[in-house]
Homo-oligomer: A and B are copies of this chain.
Amino acid sequence: MFARGRVAAEVDDRAWLQAMLDFEAALARAVAPEDAAEAIAAACVADGFDVAEIGRSAADKGTPVPGLLAALRAKLPEEAAAHVHRGATSQDVVDTAAMLVARRALAPLLEDLSAAADACAALAERFRDAPMAGRTLLQQALPITFGLKAAGWLSGLDEAQLELANVRSNELALQLGGAVGTLASLGDEGPAAVKKMARALELAEPPLPWHTLRTRPLRLACALGTAAGVMAKIALDVELLAQTEVGEVAEGGGEGRGGSSTLPHKRNPVGAVAVSACAARVPGLVSTMLAAMAQEHERAAGAWQAESETLSDLLRLTGSAAAALRELLEGLEPDPERMRANLDATGGLLMTESVVTALTPSLGRAKAQELVEGAARSALDQGRPVRDLLAELPEVSESIGEDGLDRALAPESYLGAAGQLVDRAIRDHRG
C-alpha cells in the first residue's frame, strides 16, 4: 500500500547507494587526475557493493559514508584509492545523493501525476454537463456537474505537478563544501570543482554550501506535502461518492479489486483508501523536516541526520499515492443516472433558489423568496414534492407558468458558470 508504483524502487537502499557512488565518481572526475578518476568512476556501480554490509557499518558510525568509501577504495589500485573522496565530507555525499534520489524518484511521480491529471481532464470533458448534487458540509446544496468536480481535481493536480516539476528543475542542488563549508582541502580548486560537478550531475550550482541551510530539502518536502494534500482531497471525494448510499462513482477493476466474494454488492474504494492512507502520513513527516531546519553551526548534531529517511518516506508515500490515484482515476466509473437520482431525492428542494430567481422579475425578490420558502417548508412538512406546492400557487402560474416552473426546477438551468470553468481547466491543462 505504501510502496506502490515505481517511486519505491528509486528511494530504496540500492538507489541511495548508487546516488552516493555517482557523487564520488563526479567528484573524482572534477578533482582527481584523469586516470584515477576513470578508475574510480568505473568502480562506482552499486551492483558491485554489498548494500546490507554498508548498512550495518552505518549503524555504528551514524553514516554509511565511511563504510562505502572503504569498500570503494578496496576495489581500486592504491594510487586511485588515494584520490577517492578528496575534498568532500560525508554530508556532501549524503546531501548530493538525496538530491539525485529525489530527481530520479520525481520522474515517475510526475508522470503518474500527469496521467492522473489527464484522466481528470477526460472525465471533465466527458461529464462536462452531467448534473449532480453539489454538497457543502456533506449536505446537498445546489447542483453542480460531475465535470466541474473533475475540473477541480484537475486544477489541483496541475498545480501540484507544476510545483514539483519546478522544484525538480530548480531546487535540487549539488552539495560540496568539505568539513566546514570552506572547500579548504581543495585549495583554489574548490569553486571550479563545484561548478564541474553540478554540471555533470545535472544539479543546480548553489551559491554557498547548504550543510545547515535547509531550504532546498524543505521546498521539496513542502511540494510533496502539497501534492499529497491535493490527492487526499480527490480520494476523499471518491470515497464519499462511492458510498453504498450515494453510489455515484465506483472504482474500476472488476470483481478482483475491492470486491468481496461474500458481499458482492461491496465495491471497496481500495485505490482511494490507499491514497488516503499514504497522504495521512505526510503532514507529520513534513513537520519533522521543518523542525529539523534548526541546525547547529557548520554541521548539525541530530537534526540533519533525521532528514534522509524522512525524505525517502515522503517520496515513497507521495509516489505510492500518485500511482494509486492514477490507476483509480483512469478506471473510475461515474454513474450519471445515480447522480441525477440523488439530485432529485429531495424532490426539487435543491432548486428553490433557482425558482426564486425565475420569479423575481415579476414578483420582486422579497416576495418571490417569501413564497418559495413557504412552499419549501410545506413540502418538507407534508412530504410532498415542492414542485406540486409551487404549481398550486396562483402567483407562480400567473407569472412563469408550469413550463417556466419546470425550467426553473431543472438542475441544468442553475449551473452558473460551471461549463465555462470546466472548459478553462481543460484548456489550462492542455495548453
Contacts and interface: CB of A to CB of B under 8 A. Distances in A.
Copies in the complex: 4
A230 interface: yes
Interface in A27-78: 58-59, 61-63
Contacts of A191: 417, 420
Interface string A275-315: 11111111111111011111111111111011001100000
Interface stretch (A110-118, A221-229, A328-336): A221-229
Contacts of A151: 208
Interface string A408-422: 000000111110110
- Interface-centre pick from A266, A301, A303 (highest chain B CB count, 10 A): A301
Nearest to A380: B264
Given A225-B222, A274-B62, A291-B291, A207 B263 contact: no
Contact of A266 (B4, B140, B183, B212): B140
Nearest to A373: B261
A185 interface: yes
B262 A295 contact: no
- Interface-centre pick from A233, A245, A415 (highest chain B CB count, 10 A): A245
A366 B373 CA distance: 58
A287 B377 CA distance: 43
A6 interface: no
Interface stretch (A96-104, A174-182, A394-402): A174-182
A218 B229 contact: yes
Contact of A290 (B267, B283, B345, B416): B283
Contacts of A418: 182, 184
Contacts of A379: 264
B184 A416 contact: yes
Contact of A59 (B4, B295, B306): B4
Interface stretch (A17-25, A130-138, A196-204): A130-138
Nearest to A278: B306
- Interface-centre pick from A222, A240, A263, A424 (highest chain B CB count, 10 A): A263
A172 interface: no
A108 interface: no
A304 to B, nearest CB: 8
A184 B142 contact: yes
A218 B226 contact: yes
A83 to B, nearest CB: 10
A399 B245 CA distance: 33
The 5 nearest A-B residue pairs measured at CB: A276-B302, A229-B293, A134-B180, A184-B416, A284-B284
Given A184-B354, A276-B302, 12 more contacts: A62-B277, A137-B301, A138-B297, A139-B269, A144-B298, A156-B215, A185-B353, A222-B222, A230-B293, A235-B294, A276-B303, A281-B309
29 contacts: A62-B270, A62-B277, A82-B365, A134-B182, A137-B296, A137-B301, A138-B269, A139-B266, A139-B269, A142-B180, A151-B208, A152-B213, A155-B210, A178-B416, A207-B425, A208-B424, A214-B229, A229-B294, A264-B373, A264-B377, A265-B349, A269-B301, A274-B302, A277-B306, A279-B302, A280-B303, A283-B291, A284-B288, A287-B287
